[in-house]
C-alpha cells in the first residue's frame, strides 16, 4: 500500500503520513455515525424518536452539529488540577486506541503495519488507555473522578486477562500472531471462519465479547463512568472538546474490539459468500459491516441491562471468566492435538 | 515492609448529584469504596411551607402550598389536608366526591410509584425502564390534565369538595387506563424486576429489619418492605377506603433478606396492581350525578381547636396537625412528612455498604426532597 502511494506522491514522507492517517478516514465518519446510531437505537428501544430535525432525514447531522458545538465551547481546566496531565490525558486515550488500528487489516490490501506480533502489539498498546484514564482521574482533583479512575484501572487490568486468553485460543489454532495471516487463513468459504472451527472457539468468542465489553467500559460494565453513582467518573471535570476526545476514544475503542473480534473469529475482510462480492474494496465493506453488527449488539445491551457493582464485576472476572477461559484454552489445545 | 498508611476519605454526595433525587446532600465517609458513615444534610429545598400557611387569609389557600410538598404526588397531599380540615369543620362530603377523590388518589399512587421504580432503574444503571415508566405515567397525567388543567400541581381537591367536576368521558378514560396498564407491569417485571443483574444489585442490600423500621417510625412502602403489615387505608380507614377489596403488600424477602432494597421495590410494583383493583371497583360504584361543590364552605372559620389527620400517600403516612385560633387563617399547620422520617433510616442501613449501594438505598427509600424540607 505504501508503495502504491509512493508512486503518486513525490515525497515518501508525505506518502507515509497519508498511509498512517488512512484509518482516520474510517474512524471519524464511523464515530459520527455510531453516536447518531446510539441515539437512534436507544430512542427506539425507549419508545421515542431520537434526533429528528438536524439535517433533514432522521436528524442525520445531529452529531456533526454537536461536534461543532463542542469545538466552540470554552476550554475549562479546573483551578487546582494538574494542568499538564489534565490536558494531555484525552489525547493519550485516543492515541492508545488509534495506535492499535495500525495492525488491523481493513482489507486484503491495506494494513497499517505488517507486524508479525500484531495481536500482541494490539493488546499491549490498548493498555495505554488505562494510563490516560488514571491520569484524567488524578489530574482533575475531584474525588469522584479519582474513584472512577481507580475503578476503571482495576477493571481494565483485570479484564485484560480473559481477553488475552480468549485471543490466545485463536492463536493456538492459527499458530501466528500476525493478524493479516490470520485473516488470510479464513478466506474461501464461510466455514473457514474461526468461529466455526470448533465449539470451543465459539465459547472463546463469547468470553472475548464479554470481556471486551468490560475493556471498553460498556454496560453492564460501565462502572468507570457510571453517571448515577460517580456523576461522570473520570471525565466529570472535562468539558468541550477534551470531553469530546474522550468520547471519540471510547467509540474508537468500541470499533477496535469489534474489528479485532471480526478478524479473530469472523473471517476479517472475507466475504461470507465465498468469491462473491470479495476483493480489496469489498473487504473494507465487510470488515466494517461485521464490526458494526457487534457495535449494535453492544448498544442493545447498554440500553437493556443495569450495571453491576464493583465487587460483582471483579467476581465475574476472577471467579468465572478467567477459569473458564483457561479451561477453554486447554480444551482447544487438546482439540488441536487430536484433530 | 512498613505498615501502609491509609485514611478515610470524606466525600460529598450532592446536592448536585444525579441520583440523590433532588437536592439531598449526603456526607459520605469512605474507606476505599466501603461506606463507613453516611450523614444526610437536608434543607436545600426548604420553602417555609408551614410558616407561609399561617399568613394565608383562608384555609383553602393552603392547598397550593400543600401541592408543592410532595410534588410528584400532589393529589395525595391535598387529600390529606382536605380530610384534616373536614374533620375540624365536621363537614360531610358528598358520595360522588369521595369516589372521585379515591380514584385520583390511587391514580396518583400509580403515577408516583411509576416515577419511583423508573428512577430506581436509572439509579441502578438501566435507562430504558425509566422512559417506559414515563410513557405510562403520561397517560395518568393526561387524565389529570383533562380534569383540572394541571399535570403536576393540581389544586383540585378542596376542603369540602373539588374545584370542579370531572369531564364527561372521565369514567371511560379511567377504564381505558385500567385495561391498558396491567400488561405494562409485566413488561417492567421482565425488563427490570427479575433481571439477574438488578436482583444482584438490590437483594440483600440496605437491609432494614422490621424493628429498626418501627423504631424510626418509617411508613409506607419502606415499612411494608420490611415485612410489617401496616397500611393506613386499611388500619385507620379514611374517606371510603373501607368499601373496597384489596390486599396490603408486604416484603417477604423473596430474593434475599426481608427488608432489602428489592423488597421495597417490589412492594411498589405490587401496590400498583392493588391500586388498579381499587380504581376498578371505585369506577363501577361511582355515582354519575351530584354536585361536587355542594359541601364546599363559602367561608372557613373553624372553631378554636386542633386536629390531626393522617393518610397513606404513596410514600407513607402523611399527617397534618392543624391548630385553629378561631380566625380565618390557621394558627399552625404542621405536616408529618413520610419522606423526612423515612430518610432518617439512611445512616442506619447504609453503614458497611459500598458507594454504589448508597445510590440503590436512597433510590429504594424513594424520597422527594420537596417533602423532606417542606
Q: What is the pLDDT of residues A17-53, one digit of tens each?
A: 887 788 788 888 888 888 898 889 888 888 888 888 8
- Chain-chain contact of B127 with A303 (C-beta, under 8 angstroms): yes
Mean residue pLDDT of chain A comes to 84
Determine the residue of chain B that is closest to A232 in CA distance: B18
- How many whole angstroms separate alpha carbon B78 and alpha carbon B147? 15
Query: Between A45, A144, A306, which is nearest B195 by CB?
Result: A306
> Looking at the predicted structure, is the pLDDT value of residue A234 above 70?
yes
Determine the residue of chain B that is closest to A219 in CA distance: B125
- Chain-chain contact of A229 with B19 (C-beta, under 8 angstroms): yes
A301 to chain B, any CB pair closer than 8 A? The answer is no
Which string of DSSP letters, residue by residue, matches B115-143?
HHHHHHHHHHT--HHHHHHHHHHHHHHHH
- Chain-chain contact of B33 with A147 (C-beta, under 8 angstroms): yes
Q: Are B33 and A310 in contact (CB under 8 A)?
A: yes
Q: What is the three-class DSSP state of A230?
A: helix
What residues of A are in contact with residue B19 (Cβ under 8 Å)? 228-229
In sequence order, what are the residues at sequence separation of 6 or more whose Cβ sits closer than 8 angstroms to the Cβ of residue B116?
B268, B314, B366
pLDDT for the residue numbered A228? 63
- How many whole angstroms separate alpha carbon B131 and alpha carbon A328? 40
- Average pLDDT of the segment spanning A284-296: 88
- Chain-chain contact of A46 with B132 (C-beta, under 8 angstroms): yes
Tally the C-alpha atoms within 13 A of residue B175's C-alpha that lie toward its C-beta. 8
- Taking CA atoms, B348 is separated from A167, A311, B255, B264, B345, in Å, by 47, 22, 22, 16, 5
A53 to chain B, any CB pair closer than 8 A? The answer is no
What residues of B are in contact with residue A222 (Cβ under 8 Å)? 125
Distance separating the N- and C-terminal Cα atoms of chain B: 55
Query: Between A229, A306, A307, which is nearest B355 by CB?
Result: A229
Query: Between A46, A147, A230, which is nearest B128 by CB?
Result: A46
- Average pLDDT of the segment spanning A331-339: 84
- Chain-chain contact of A303 with B128 (C-beta, under 8 angstroms): yes
What residues of A are in contact with residue B126 (Cβ under 8 Å)? 304-307
- Chain-chain contact of B126 with A226 (C-beta, under 8 angstroms): no
**A104-108, A273-277, B44-48, B113-117, range with the lowest pLDDT:** A273-277
Q: What is the three-class DSSP state of A235?
A: helix
Based on the number of CB atoms within 10 Å of its own CB, is B297 exposed (0-12), middle (13-18) or buried (19 or more)? middle
- Chain-chain contact of A144 with B11 (C-beta, under 8 angstroms): yes
A305 to chain B, any CB pair closer than 8 A? The answer is yes
Window 140-169 of A: residues touching B by CB (8 A cutoff) are: 143-144, 147, 151
- How many whole angstroms separate alpha carbon A59 and alpha carbon A77? 32
- How many whole angstroms separate alpha carbon B43 and alpha carbon B26? 12
More confident of the two residues A3 and A152: A152
Q: Are B298 and B196 in contact (CB under 8 A)?
A: no
Q: Are A76 and A45 in contact (CB under 8 A)?
A: no
B183 to chain A, any CB pair closer than 8 A? The answer is no
pLDDT for the residue numbered B1? 58
- How many whole angstroms separate alpha carbon B227 and alpha carbon B225? 5
A275 to chain B, any CB pair closer than 8 A? The answer is no
By C-alpha distance, which of B167, B178, B168 is closest to B140? B178
B39 to chain A, any CB pair closer than 8 A? The answer is no
A137 to chain B, any CB pair closer than 8 A? The answer is no
By C-alpha distance, which of A192, A203, A212 is closest to A329? A203
In this prediction the pTM is 0.85
B192 to chain A, any CB pair closer than 8 A? The answer is yes
Q: Using 50, 70 and 90 to split pLDDT, how confident is the model at B346?
A: confident
> Looking at the predicted structure, is the pLDDT value of residue A227 above 70?
no
pLDDT for the residue numbered B228? 87
Q: Using 50, 70 and 90 to split pLDDT, how confident is the model at B249?
A: confident
In sequence order, what are the residues at sequence separation of 6 or more whose Cβ sits closer than 8 angstroms to the Cβ of residue A289?
none
- Chain-chain contact of B126 with A144 (C-beta, under 8 angstroms): no
Residue given cell 483485570 in the structure block: A158
Q: Are B297 and B92 in contact (CB under 8 A)?
A: no
By C-alpha distance, which of B24, B55, B38, B135 is closest to B355? B38
Q: Looking at CA atoms only, how far is residue B108 from chain A in angstroms?
A: 23
pLDDT for the residue numbered A2? 65
> Looking at the predicted structure, is the pLDDT value of residue B12 above 80?
yes
> Looking at the predicted structure, is the pLDDT value of residue A10 above 80?
no
Report the percentage of chain A scoring pLDDT > 90.
0
- Average pLDDT of the segment spanning A171-194: 82
Query: Between A48, A143, A309, which is nearest B201 by CB?
Result: A309
> Looking at the predicted structure, is the pLDDT value of residue B16 above 70?
yes
Structural domains in chain B plus CATH codes: 52-338 (1.10.645.10)
What residues of A are in contact with residue B191 (Cβ under 8 Å)? 304
Q: Using 50, 70 and 90 to split pLDDT, how confident is the model at B358?
A: confident
- Chain-chain contact of A144 with B192 (C-beta, under 8 angstroms): no
- How many whole angstroms separate alpha carbon A263 and alpha carbon A268? 4
Q: Looking at CA atoms only, how far is residue B198 from chain A in angstroms?
A: 6
Eight-class DSSP state of B354: B
Query: Between A45, A143, A307, which is nearest B124 by CB?
Result: A307
If phi over 0 gives left and psi between -120 and 50 gives alpha, with beta otherwise, what is residue B305? left
- Chain-chain contact of A46 with B355 (C-beta, under 8 angstroms): no
Q: What is the three-class DSSP state of B125?
A: coil
What residues of B are in contact with residue A304 (Cβ under 8 Å)? 126, 128, 191
Enclosing H/E stretch for A329: helix A322-338
- How many whole angstroms separate alpha carbon A309 and alpha carbon A155? 11
By C-alpha distance, which of B189, B73, B199 is closest to B132? B189
More confident of the two residues A6 and A36: A36
Q: Looking at CA atoms only, how far is residue B349 from chain A in angstroms?
A: 18
By C-alpha distance, which of B38, B372, B49 is closest to B206? B38
- Average pLDDT of the segment spanning B348-367: 85
> Looking at the predicted structure, is the pLDDT value of residue B262 above 80?
yes
Alpha-carbon Rg for chain A, nearest whole angstrom, is 20
B61 to chain A, any CB pair closer than 8 A? The answer is no
Query: Between A229, A303, A306, which is nearest B198 by CB?
Result: A306
> Looking at the predicted structure, is the pLDDT value of residue A320 above 80?
yes
pLDDT for the residue numbered A1? 62
What residues of A are in contact with residue B17 (Cβ under 8 Å)? 231
B30 phi and psi, to 5 degrees?
Answer: -115, 140
Mean residue pLDDT of chain B comes to 86
By C-alpha distance, which of B44, B39, B3 is closest to B358? B39
> Looking at the predicted structure, is the pLDDT value of residue A248 above 80?
yes
pLDDT for the residue numbered B286? 85
Q: Looking at CA atoms only, how far is residue B301 from chain A in angstroms?
A: 49
Residue given cell 479451561 in the structure block: A327
Amino acid at each position: 500500500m505504501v508503495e502504491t502511494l509512493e508512486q503518486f506522491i513525490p515525497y515518501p514522507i508525505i506518502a507515509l503520513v497519508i498511509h498512517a492517517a488512512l484509518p482516520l478516514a474510517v474512524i471519524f465518519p464511523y464515530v459520527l455515525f455510531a453516536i447518531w446510531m446510539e441515539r437512534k437505537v436507544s430512542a427506539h428501544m425507549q419508545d421515542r424518536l431520537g434526533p429528528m430535525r438536524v439535517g433533514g432525514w432522521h436528524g442525520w447531522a445531529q452529531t456533526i452539529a454537536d461536534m461543532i458545538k463542542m469545538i466552540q465551547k470554552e476550554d475549562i481546566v479546573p483551578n487546582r488540577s494538574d494542568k499538564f496531565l489534565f490536558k494531555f490525558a484525552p489525547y493519550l486515550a485516543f492515541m492508545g486506541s488509534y495506535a492499535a488500528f495500525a495492525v488491523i487489516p481493513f482489507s486484503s490490501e491495506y494494513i497499517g503495519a505488517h507486524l508479525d506480533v500484531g495481536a500482541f502489539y494490539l493488546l499491549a498498546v490498548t493498555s495505554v488507555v488505562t494510563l490516560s484514564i488514571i491520569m484524567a482521574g488524578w489530574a482533575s482533583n475531584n474525588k469522584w473522578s479519582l474513584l472512577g479512575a481507580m475503578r476503571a484501572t482495576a477493571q481494565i487490568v483485570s479484564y485484560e486477562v480473559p481477553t488475552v486468553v480468549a485471543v490466545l485460543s485463536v492463536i493456538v489454532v492459527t499458530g501466528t500472531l500476525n493478524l493479516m495471516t490470520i485473516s488470510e487463513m479464513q478466506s474461501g468459504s464461510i466455514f473457514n471462519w474461526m468461529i466455526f472451527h470448533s465449539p470451543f472457539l465459539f465459547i472463546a468468542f463469547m468470553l472475548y465479547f464479554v470481556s471486551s465489553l468490560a475493556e471498553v467500559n460498556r454496560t453492564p460494565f460501565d462502572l468507570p463512568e457510571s453517571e448515577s453513582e460517580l456523576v461522570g467518573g473520570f471525565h466529570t471535570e472535562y468539558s468541550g472538546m477534551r470531553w469530546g476526545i474522550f468520547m471519540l476514544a471510547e467509540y474508537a475503542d468500541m470499533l477496535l474490539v469489534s474489528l479485532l473480534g471480526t478478524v479473530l473469529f469472523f473471517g476479517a475482510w472475507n466475504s461470507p459468500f465465498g468469491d462473491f462480492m470479495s476483493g480489496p474494496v469489498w473487504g473494507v465493506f465487510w470488515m466494517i459491516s461485521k464490526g458494526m453488527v457487534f457495535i449494535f449488539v453492544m448498544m442493545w445491551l447498554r440500553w437493556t441491562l443495569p450495571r453491576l457493582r464493583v465487587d460483582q464485576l471483579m467476581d465475574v472476572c476472577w471467579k468465572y471468566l478467567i477459569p473458564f477461559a483457561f479451561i477453554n484454552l486447554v480444551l482447544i489445545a487438546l482439540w488441536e492435538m487430536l484433530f | 515492609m512498613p505498615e501502609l498508611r491509609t485514611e478515610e476519605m470524606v466525600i460529598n454526595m450532592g446536592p448536585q448529584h444525579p441520583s440523590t433525587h433532588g437536592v439531598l446532600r449526603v456526607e459520605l465517609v469512605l474507606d476505599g469504596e466501603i461506606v463507613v458513615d453516611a450523614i444526610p444534610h437536608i434543607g436545600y429545598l426548604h420553602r417555609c411551607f408551614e410558616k407561609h400557611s399561617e399568613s394565608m387569609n383562608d384555609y383553602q389557600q393552603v392547598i397550593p402550598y400543600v401541592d408543592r410538598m410532595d410534588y410528584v404526588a400532589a393529589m395525595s397531599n391535598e387529600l390529606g389536608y382536605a380530610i384534616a380540615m373536614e374533620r375540624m369543620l365536621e363537614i360531610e362530603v358528598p358520595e360522588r366526591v369521595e369516589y372521585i377523590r379515591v380514584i385520583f388518589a390511587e391514580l396518583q399512587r400509580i403515577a408516583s410509584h411509576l416515577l419511583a421504580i423508573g428512577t430506581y432503574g436509572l439509579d441502578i444503571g438501566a435507562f430504558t425502564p425509566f422512559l417506559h415508566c414515563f410513557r405510562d405515567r403520561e397517560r395518568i397525567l393526561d387524565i389529570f390534565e383533562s380534569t383540572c388543567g394541571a399535570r403536576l400541581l393540581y389544586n383540585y381537591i378542596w376542603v369540602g369538595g373539588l374545584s370542579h367536576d370531572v369531564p364527561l368521558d372521565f369514567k371511560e378514560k379511567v377504564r381505558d387506563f385500567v385495561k391498558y396498564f396491567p400488561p405494562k407491569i409485566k413488561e417492567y417485571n421482565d425488563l427490570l424486576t427479575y433481571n439477574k443483574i438488578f436482583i444482584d444489585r438490590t437483594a440483600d442490600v440496605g437491609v432494614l429489619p422490621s424493628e429498626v423500621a418501627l423504631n424510626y417510625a418509617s411508613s409506607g412502602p419502606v415499612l411494608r418492605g420490611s415485612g410489617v403489615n401496616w397500611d393506613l387505608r386499611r388500619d385507620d380507614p379514611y374517606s371510603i377506603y373501607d368499601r373496597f377489596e384489596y390486599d396490603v403488600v408486604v416484603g417477604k424477602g423473596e430474593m434475599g433478606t426481608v427488608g432489602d432494597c428489592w423488597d421495597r421495590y417490589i412492594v411498589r410494583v405490587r401496590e400498583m396492581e392493588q391500586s388498579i383493583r381499587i380504581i376498578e371497583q371505585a369506577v363501577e360504584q361511582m355515582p354519575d350525578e351530584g354536585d361536587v361543590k355542594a359541601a364546599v364552605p363559602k367561608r372557613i372559620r373553624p372553631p378554636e381547636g386542633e386536629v390531626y389527620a393522617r393518610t397513606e400517600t404513596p410514600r407513607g403516612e402523611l399527617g397534618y396537625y392543624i391548630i385553629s385560633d378561631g380566625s380565618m387563617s390557621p394558627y399552625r399547620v404542621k405536616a408529618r412528612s413520610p419522606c423526612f422520617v423515612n430518610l432518617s433510616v439512611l445512616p442506619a442501613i447504609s453503614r458497611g455498604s459500598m458507594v454504589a449501594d448508597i445510590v440503590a438505598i436512597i433510590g429504594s427509600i424513594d424520597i422527594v426532597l420537596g417533602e423532606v424540607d417542606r
